[in-house]
Every structure is written in C-alpha cells, then in structure tokens.
Amino acid sequence: MVFLLAAIASATSQTVKKPQNHKKIVGPNACAECHKETTEIWKKTHHATTFKKMPRSKEARKIANKMKIKRIKSESLCLTCHFTTQIKRKKKKPIAGISCESCHSAGKDWEKVHSEFSGKTEKTESKAEEAKRWKKSEKLGMIRPSAIYKLAKNCYSCHVVPQEKLVNIGGHPAGSAFELVSWSQGEVRHNVWYSKGKTNKQAGAGRKRILYITGLAVELETALRSVAVATKSKVYAFRMARRADAARKKMKKVAAALPKTGEVAKIVELGYSAGLKLNNKKALLTAAKGIASTSLALIAKYDGSTFGAVDPLIPNESKYKGKPPK
C-alpha cells in the first residue's frame, strides 16, 4: 500500500489545537449561570468526569511514568486536551475536564457580549441587534455551533493525538475512533437552549450531512499535516498514515454519491496528491491547506439539504457514542 511504501508510513494531526489562552478562561461555572440545562448534561459526560477519573487511572499513570511526568495535572502535555485550565497565582491550574471553552474557545472577550441581549432582554432584543451581537461575539473569538469547520478542528485536534512522542514513547493511543456525527449526536449532545431543556433534538438531516463530510475532510487534513511532520517510522506514523488513507477512501465514497459537487471531488484529489511517507512535508502541507480552504468553501455554499445521497454513509443512531444524560 502506498502509505506503507518503503516502510516509512506517517503520522497524524499536526493541525495541533492552538493552546488555550489560560488567562482568558472563565470556566464552566460562568457559562452555567445561563446554560443550566446544558451544564447538567455536561456534568454527567466523560468530558466532565475525566477531571477526576483520568489522573487516577492505571493507564494514565503508566503513560505519565514513561513520559517522566510526575503530576498529570501540572504538566502542559496533559492539560492541552484533558482539562480546562486557568492561570491562578501565575501558575496553570486545571479547574474542570473538557468543558465549554474547550470547544467554543476561551470566553473572557466574548462571554458577556454573547449573553447580554444587546443590553435588553431575550424578548425585546431585535433581530438586527441579535445578528450584530453574534457577529461581534464571533469576531471576539466565540466558536458558535454554526462554525462547523472550527468545531471539527477542535474535536480532531485532541481525538487524533497531536504528539508523536506521546504515542511512540508514552504508549498513548494514537487517537480515538472518532467520527463527527456519531460522537456529536451521542452523549455530548446538548441542543437544549431554545427549548429551555424540554427537548434535546438531534441535528437535522442537512446538518448531519455537512457534519459528516466536514468531519471526514478535517480528519484527512489533520492526518496529512501529521504525516508531514512525523519523524520516526514507528507506531505513531503507521497509525496516522492508516487514518489518512481510511479518511480519503471514505471521502471517495462521498464523491461518488455527490458527483456534481466539485468541492468534494477536489478534496479527494488533494487527499491523493501527496504520498503518505516521511520527508514529504511540502507536498503534504500543500494538500492539507487545500483541503482546509475547499472544506470552508463547501460549508459556505451548501446546507446539506440536497445531499441526501450520502445518507447511507452516515452512521445511524445505533452507532452513536452513548446517549445524552437525562
């Protein structure tokens, strides 16, 4: 297979998630003031409970020992993906597991803007004022649910492990069996704001289609970037090369289902344009960059309503990663 050519297959995600700006983390309690129902769901998810469970697990301790990490909650290597961290007394201090700002970005600059209804109330704020408020919040860094590409990048930046040594030396898994639809619509689903907690509906058909295609594109992009920077022909490189190859094959099936969608065809073309091998950085990064820009163009152009042909490819509810807590 191409990605194992000359026994130097390659690695994953180096669209490494930008480190949290710990100085701008407000913490989940600030979000809970308004998002009570969402917070109650979150508290029962693995994202929340990892705060206490992960550092105590035998597997985590074993990895930490191999990486010469003495205290899991004080080492930045672990803090990036497993915790929400603030700066307290000039030191990084984990305050929660994976929480609101892990996905929606550090909230200091936008948290008040997004929640104050333009100085009015939810009922008296005009549509124009609401639109202006959201635009300002986004400009200040908020990643809203409509920003599918950015959300997907956040997910894959941790579910596809961005550290070669952590895998090769520490024995950390190279990534989760992550897929955007099945994982976002399962345990972590919290679509409760507009119903005030009365319902927690799944995403609509069109959105699921866009989620599925975007997820595959980001997975492929992420894997190509990792292949580009991988340095050793070891576990990390092999796992990630396989991941890249699997993603581009799945995207090829999407292209077959949507033959008139040029953006999907372009992503497939780019996915196969660079060899999945070590020391091929320039070509791989060029392909990854092209996939990123093409993905954004696709999301801007389509809402998924005409993409029904991909439905058989999308995981159904029986394959979702858990169920939202009651």
3-state SS record for the chain: CHHHHHHCCCCCCCCCCCCCCHHHCCCHHHHHCCCHHHHHHHHCCHHHHHHHHHHHCHHHHHHHHHCCCCCHHHCHHHHHHHCEEEEECCEEEEEECCCHHHHHCCCCCCHHHHHCHHHCCCCCCCHHHHHHHHHHHHHCCCCCCCCHHHHHHHHHHHHECCCHHHHHCCCCCCECCCCHHHHHCCCCCCCCCCCCCCCCCCCCHHHHHHHHHHHHHHHHHHHHHHHHHCCCCCHHHHHHHHHHHHHHHHHHHHHHHCCCCHHHHHHHHHHCCCCCCCCCHHHHHHHHHHHHHHHHHHHHHCCCCCCHHHHHHCCCHHHCCCCCCC
Q: Which two tokens stand for residue 80?
A: 């990036």
The pLDDT value given to residue 14: 33
Q: What is the pLDDT of residue 15?
A: 37
pLDDT at 75: 77
Say what the pLDDT of residue 89 is.
87
Question: Could you read off the pLDDT tens digit of each residue along the chain, which spans 326 residues?
Answer: 333 333 323 333 333 456 678 999 999 999 999 999 999 999 999 999 999 999 999 999 999 999 999 999 987 789 999 999 999 988 999 999 999 999 999 999 999 999 999 999 999 999 999 999 999 999 999 999 999 999 999 999 999 998 999 999 999 999 999 999 999 999 999 999 989 899 999 999 999 999 999 999 999 999 999 999 999 999 999 999 999 999 999 999 999 999 999 999 999 999 999 999 999 999 999 999 999 999 999 999 999 999 999 999 999 999 999 999 98
pTM of the complete model: 0.92
Tell me if 47 sits within 8 A of 97, measured CB to CB.
Answer: yes
Rounded Cα gap, residues 315 and 323, in angstroms: 14
